Amino acid sequence: MIGHPAFFCEPWRLRVSGVDMDLLAQTESVFALSNGNLGWRGNLDEGEPHGLPGSYLNGVYELRPLPYAEAGYGYPESGQTVINVTNGKLIRLLVDDEPFDIRYGELRSHEQSLDFRAGVLRRDVEWVSPAGCPVRISSTRLVSFTQRSIAAICYEVEPLNGSTRVVVQSELVANEQLPPPGGDPRVTAVLQAPLVERENWAKDTRAGLVHATRHSGLCVATVMDHLVGGPPGTKVRSESSPHLGRVTVTAPIEAGGRLRLVKFVAYGWSASRSLPAVRDQSDAALAGAVQSGWEGLAAEQRSYLDAFWGHADVQVDGDAEIQQAVRFSLFHVLQAGARAEGRAIPAKGLTGPGYDGHCFWDAESYVLPVLTNIAPGATANALRWRHSTLPMATERAAQLGFRGATFPWRTIRGEECSSYWPAGTAAFHVNADIADAVAHYVDMSGDEAFERTAGLELLAQTARLWRSLGRHDTRGRFHIDGVTGPDEYSAIGDDNVYTNLMAQRNLVAAADAAGRHPAAARELGIDREEMAAWRDTAAAMYIPYDDVLGVHPQAEGFTGHQVWDFAATAPERYPLLLHFPYFDLYRKQVVKQADLVLAMYLRGDAFTAEQKARNFAFYERLTVRDSSLSASAQSVIAAEVGHLQLAYDYLAEAALMDLEDLERNTRDGLHIAALAGSWIALLAGLAGMRTRNGILSFAPRLPAGLTRLAFTIVRRRQRLAVNVAVDTVDYTLLDGDPLPILHHGDPVTVPVGDPVTRPIPPAVATTPPPTQPPGRVPARRHPTPVGDASRL
């Protein structure tokens, strides 16, 4: 998509000139605004044309039945689907009775830009109506980080040739008609008219709608107010009906004059509070926004992001496109989680309805490690949401015959929503992914209060699952049979290496946390015997190894399967899941996404350097990357084993996943985990960052073409600035006590204020460059210097 000449490469914003109707839905996704609680897609103000309308509230969903040809014990009976709530973005314009529509008249110019520092979406248009009346239209839109229920638009109209009569209709619209879904199972189910009217009103510059979801019983209130600045004779009226609230402004504008409309929209919802309570909540939020005014909201937004970028920015010299892409990624990762307080972080954030708005395991394995550094409060809130769903997870474990908790593979509220049982029943690795996120957050933040409460219980209940799920053989080895790992082209395998290694870490982390908090452990029924059993189980964990091939099989027996016939698979038949039965995929050596390779990143301590190199080469030729989660993990290990150009190629694939629409489904929303993966590929990959036994470790090396990589890592109360050049790296501790780190395995103590410079040893690959399946070789990345990157 960004190969289009209308997209420009700029370090702090994404800008496009003109409107390409074929890219409209994708553009709406990349220009989406959100704060983790409220999300607006980047639809045009006037609402039409559109690719996919979208206004979302985190946690607002509708129930839908999950039909089965043959029902089975333990199958989920009901699914949850995110819904398009009341659209508050709409501002329709009529110029001398001609409706503003970019498809008619003359569009002289049209530009949209997403400003990562100001946190706003700007739009500037010059349009000539079919009757020959030219106007300039500008709008600036924000979804507030500081007032989590609020979105606002500043909309201005200026005639360019004499006096003009202008009518602006600012609307709230519920139950918008949505385009039909395609055949891709990754897109959402479309639910028509999910909102049932409960109340509507309009007065002066205000209007409001209250609805209930038809089956899930949620109450949703949307209210709006306006500040109108226009010439003498400007008139305002308001009206409402069950699914429409409208404020109409009519103004005769002379040459040189303009009409300015500031629209404030407040949303509220609840599953338990009464209609008056939800309505009053929205009214109160709206009053606060109006009191702040447009300038106040914009200033708050800029101040919030100034503080964010002060510690979150990642600087990349030598490739202007990657620099823009990583800031785009960080901005959207922040938008996905910043104010998702008490709610999940969906796979698409609040940028679109893909995957039904569900949260998956990649929230903990990809998104939370990034948020832990750039917005640690968001990580704590996401994990507290998981903790709030523990009753459902323990009930699910009991239903399946296990102790502890079984967390869902996909969900909105906490119940398992997958009707595909190899994932919804057998992808137990999500337990260990949550536990790993807990341990990483506590290690980086030092949040002992969180560990003592929510953290310890999450670790304990997930650890109990492994003891109940697995078994010891006659030699005392512990096995976990019949599970599905991260690779969705393999299912119901024994001793999946990723699952076993992450479960092992889970068990040790639970025992360690219980030892640090004995009183809290006793309250959870954890005694010394159970802690010892966790440690014994971890020590006995069986990790398969193929002595003949000298590699770790992804799961027991995987290396004995027939290799997929890649040569006979045409490029247009990817992704394979849309063209071949899963049964065929499950019986072959073909990998959808990094599984064993992901294990080598997250559990690198369990592999030797030689094993990593051999494993990586082996799995490269089998991995087709039909998942957006794969490239970043492959980038990390490619860098670690010395294949820097390949690491760079995979970094670009992760960073440009949505900007290039590589999966061909950006129209349904952004891939938030892949965007987080660009940070992972840079810091864990090219900078070689790991946390080992509480010690930060770095092994930086840059590929040819990149000249600098700079970032800040926050661990507890210490901020470490890392500045990687071609041959040297500077470590500067900005505050806190002297910090011990490892640099390429050598211990270094970094004092406060004085940079420590170390040389970077050259990369030495111990294996030849690996090969990929035919047609699945990543695009070769070539640096794009600033002067050569006029477009993206």
Please write the tens of the pLDDT for every residue from 490-547. 999 999 999 999 999 999 999 999 999 999 999 999 999 999 999 999 999 999 999 9
Share of the chain above pLDDT 90, in %: 92
Burial group, residue 102, by CB count within 10 angstroms (0-12, 13-18, 19+): middle
The per-residue pLDDT for 729 is: 98
The per-residue pLDDT for 185 is: 58
For residue 722, name the pLDDT band (cuts at 50, 70, 90). very high
Q: What span, in angstroms and rounded, lies between the C-alpha atoms of 792 and 779? A: 16
Task: Return the ∠ at Cα 59 (arms to 55 and 62), rounded to 5°.
Answer: 80
CA 554 to chain centre: 26
CA 772 to chain centre: 27
**Does the pLDDT at position 790 exceed 50?**
no
Burial group, residue 572, by CB count within 10 angstroms (0-12, 13-18, 19+): exposed
Q: Which two tokens stand for residue 390?
A: 């523990």
Global pTM value: 0.97
**Does the pLDDT at position 272 exceed 90?**
yes
Q: What span, in angstroms and rounded, lies between the C-alpha atoms of 764 and 45? A: 54
| Cα dihedral 657/659/663/664 (nearest 10) | 180
Task: Return the ∠ at Cα 338 (arms to 637 and 334), rounded to 5°.
Answer: 40
The residues, ordered by sequence, that sit 6+ positions from 570 with a Cβ below 8 Å of its Cβ are: none
The per-residue pLDDT for 591 is: 98
**Does the pLDDT at position 575 exceed 60?**
yes
- Name which of 43, 210, 61 is nearest 139 in CA terms: 43
The per-residue pLDDT for 182 is: 62
**Does the pLDDT at position 792 exceed 80?**
no
Q: What are 688-697's pLDDT values in tens digits?
A: 999 977 899 9
The per-residue pLDDT for 331 is: 98
For residue 791, name the pLDDT band (cuts at 50, 70, 90). very low
Residue type, position 509, single letter: A
Q: What span, in angstroms and rounded, lies between the C-alpha atoms of 591 and 561? A: 12
Q: What are 215-251's pLDDT values in tens digits?
A: 999 999 999 999 999 999 999 999 999 999 999 999 9
Q: How far is CA 163 from CA 96, 157, 228, 689, in A?
A: 10, 12, 19, 62
Point out which residues pair with 253 in neighbouring strands.
Answer: 164
The per-residue pLDDT for 180 is: 77
Burial group, residue 190, by CB count within 10 angstroms (0-12, 13-18, 19+): middle
* Contact (Cβ atoms closer than 8 angstroms) between residue 586 and residue 490: yes
Mean of pLDDT values over 318-334: 97
Q: What span, in angstroms and rounded, lies between the C-alpha atoms of 153 and 261? A: 8
The residues, ordered by sequence, that sit 6+ positions from 60 with a Cβ below 8 Å of its Cβ are: 82, 83, 85, 213, 218, 220, 269
Share of the chain above pLDDT 70, in %: 97
Indicate which residues carry an active-site annotation: 488
Q: What are 588-632's pLDDT values in tens digits?
A: 999 999 999 999 999 999 999 999 999 999 999 999 999 999 999
For residue 32, name the pLDDT band (cuts at 50, 70, 90). very high
Mean of pLDDT values over 321-349: 97
The per-residue pLDDT for 191 is: 77
CA 584 to chain centre: 31
For residue 786, name the pLDDT band (cuts at 50, 70, 90). low
Average pLDDT of the chain?
95
Q: What are 118-154's pLDDT values in tens digits?
A: 999 999 999 999 999 999 999 999 999 999 999 999 9
**Does the pLDDT at position 787 exceed 60?**
no
Q: How far is CA 750 from CA 440, 682, 692, 736, in A?
A: 22, 22, 17, 10
Q: What span, in angstroms and rounded, lies between the C-alpha atoms of 780 and 647? A: 10
How many other β-carbons are positioned within 10 Å of the β-carbon of residue 160? 15
Mean of pLDDT values over 89-101: 97
Q: What are 107-120's pLDDT values in tens digits?
A: 999 999 999 999 99
Q: What are 380-432's pLDDT values in tens digits?
A: 999 999 999 999 999 999 999 999 999 999 999 999 999 888 988 999 999 99
- Name which of 745, 741, 710 is nearest 604 in CA terms: 745
Assign 281 to helix, strand or coil. helix
Q: What span, in angstroms and rounded, lies between the C-alpha atoms of 709 and 728? A: 11
Q: What are 696-721's pLDDT values in tens digits?
A: 999 999 999 999 999 999 999 899 99
The residues, ordered by sequence, that sit 6+ positions from 105 with a Cβ below 8 Å of its Cβ are: 98, 127, 128, 129, 130
**Does the pLDDT at position 354 exceed 90?**
yes
Residue with tokens 């333990």: 74
Assign 9 to helix, strand or coil. strand
Q: What are 38-52's pLDDT values in tens digits?
A: 999 999 999 999 999
The per-residue pLDDT for 78 is: 87
* Contact (Cβ atoms closer than 8 angstroms) between residue 678 and residue 338: no
The per-residue pLDDT for 70 is: 79
* Distance from the first to the final alpha carbon of the chain: 9
The per-residue pLDDT for 789 is: 42
For residue 201, name the pLDDT band (cuts at 50, 70, 90). very high
The per-residue pLDDT for 526 is: 98
**Does the pLDDT at position 186 exceed 70?**
no
How many other β-carbons are positioned within 10 Å of the β-carbon of residue 723? 18
